[in-house]
Structure 1
């Protein structure tokens, strides 16, 4: 089992099947006895499906579907700037506050990005005056650090 929480639940059932009581199982796994009681009860009533995590409703999003779509389009259009730089979470907070009159913290921006299907991967920024030709020319300069490119010493 790859899910760690499910693995602990299965280990608890394994302890109980091997003869340990709920208190001993809880002590061995460093969890509360009440949790073990709940898992055993759910297992007897629903089988292995009773041990799986149920979806949690959580707090509803402050933005509606149309606003989320508009935000997604804004992120898509502004994530890569032609003059260099990148979109910052603080910029998104300001945009949401200005456009939708809804307050978000920077921490919730990352969660919102994940919900919209984006991942917050930062790349190296590109300076507006950066030149590929100058970089290639710089790479060709002999600096003496290459062991395959010996530098002659002059007396």
Structure 2
């Protein structure tokens, strides 16, 4: 005898097509489109053929929606490789990068410098190449503005700009 799944959530509760148009995560968007097809009373076999899934997988998506609602379309934490930097250290890490750049006085931090901060201050081992992915995940850009030399003289720059006016178009 087949196991009966309690249906706490109905396929008529949401407009899945509308939700899929504003969903940013591709896997969740695909599940919303599958749920839309299910709400239109399409067969598991037909949906599976259209989306390239086995019908049993479509049934699992439906069952998970019945049990858990919209939160079932998102991947559970634990998928993929874990970050070496603890979640609670992210804000402090960002602040440490900003402070290190300000203390530098000129030039810019390199990936090697940031990897050293991660290792020494947060016990998070990253290679310089791996730092770029970490910075992207925490919302920081590795691209910085043009750096200033530590011995730059703003007064000399100002004087130079006053004395040497830029050429007008067409005039030497």
Give the TM interval when normalised to the shorter protein: 0.5 to 0.7
Q: Which residue of 2 aligns with 1:50?
A: 72
Rounded Cα–Cα distance in structure 1 between residues aligned with 2:29 and 2:122: 43
TM-score, with structure 1 as normaliser: 0.62
Task: Give the corresponding residue for 2:43.
Answer: 21
What is residue 23 of structure 2 aligned with on the other side?
3
1:11 Cα deviation (Å)? 1.3
CA contact (8 A) 2:34 2:47 kept: yes
Relative to structure 1, is the Cα distance of residues 105 and 36 closer, same or farther in structure 2, using a 3 angstrom cutoff?
farther
**CA 102–48 in structure 1, closer or farther in 2 if over 3 Å, else same:** closer
The SS at the match of 2:30 is helix
Change (3 A) 1:26 1:114: same
Mark the CA change 1:36 to 1:128 in structure 2 (over 3 Å): closer, same or farther. same
With over 3 angstroms needed to count, the CA separation of the structure-2 counterparts of 1:124 and 1:27, relative to structure 1, is: farther
2:106 to 57, 63, 84: 84
Runs (5+) with no aligned partner, structure 1: none
1:145 pairs with 2:165: no
Paired position in structure 2 for 1:120: 141
Query: TM-score with structure 2 length normalisation?
Result: 0.58
Residue 53 (structure 2) aligns with: 32
Q: 1:77 to 1:23 in 2, by over 3 A?
A: same
1:125 shift after superposition: 0.8
Q: Distance in 1 between matches of 2:81 and 2:48?
A: 31
Query: Contact conserved, 2:64 with 2:72, CA < 8 A, in 1?
Result: yes
Aligned residues: 147
Determine the C-alpha separation between the residues in 1 that align with 2:127 and 2:98.
20
Query: For the structure 1 residues 24 and 136, does the alpha-carbon distance in structure 2 shift closer, same or farther, using more than 3 Å as the test?
Result: farther
Instruction: Tell me whether 1:133 sits opposite 2:150 in the alignment.
Output: no
CA 1:103–1:120 in 2, change beyond 3 Å: closer, same or farther? Answer: same
SS of aligned partner of 2:97:
helix
Give the CA RMSD over aligned residues: 4.0
